[in-house]
Amino acid sequence: MAFWKGTAFARLWPELFRGLLRNGTTVKVDVCQKLLNGERMTTWASFIIAQDEKWISYEHPDRKLKWLPLDQKPEPIPKRGFHAKKELLSFFFCSIGCIYYEILPDGYCCNIINIL
């Protein structure tokens, strides 16, 4: 048996508890509404800079559809080999767009120290 049974606290407890719940829920609802209605702070995303590297083909053969007479056969254009000459394109970008790019020579790797 609880020590407070039969006291004034026992009579007031349900109302105090309901009051605490009401106040707590209104605070929670207020916080949620402020978070949902407030301005979204995404200015931190403009400071993020990322770097990527991509191998691009050195030679670009002209492979397009052409209109030819029925009796004429098209000239065969070989596909680029898997190990054909390629260059390394390194670029830095942020939310605005590309900040810096460079086509790197053979055997050269790009990092922030080489750029500065």
Same domain, 54 and 90: yes
Residue 1: which pLDDT band, with cuts at 50, 70 and 90?
A: very low
Same domain, 16 and 54: no
What is the C-alpha separation between 23 and 46, in angstroms, rounded?
A: 39
Residue 48 is predicted with a pLDDT of 80
* Domain membership flag for residue 55: yes
Same domain, 54 and 91: yes
Q: Read off φ and ψ for residue 12, nearest 5 degrees.
A: -85, -15
Contact 110, 89 (CB under 8 A): no
Residue 9: which pLDDT band, with cuts at 50, 70 and 90?
A: low
Domain count for the chain = 2
Q: Can you read off the two tokens belonging to residue 109?
A: 């790797």
Q: Is the pLDDT of residue 33 over 80?
A: no
* Domain membership flag for residue 44: no
* Domain membership flag for residue 72: no
Same domain, 12 and 55: no
Contact 61, 77 (CB under 8 A): yes
* Domain membership flag for residue 16: yes
User: What is the span of the domain harbouring residue 53?
Assistant: 49-59+84-110
Average pLDDT over residues 38-55: 73
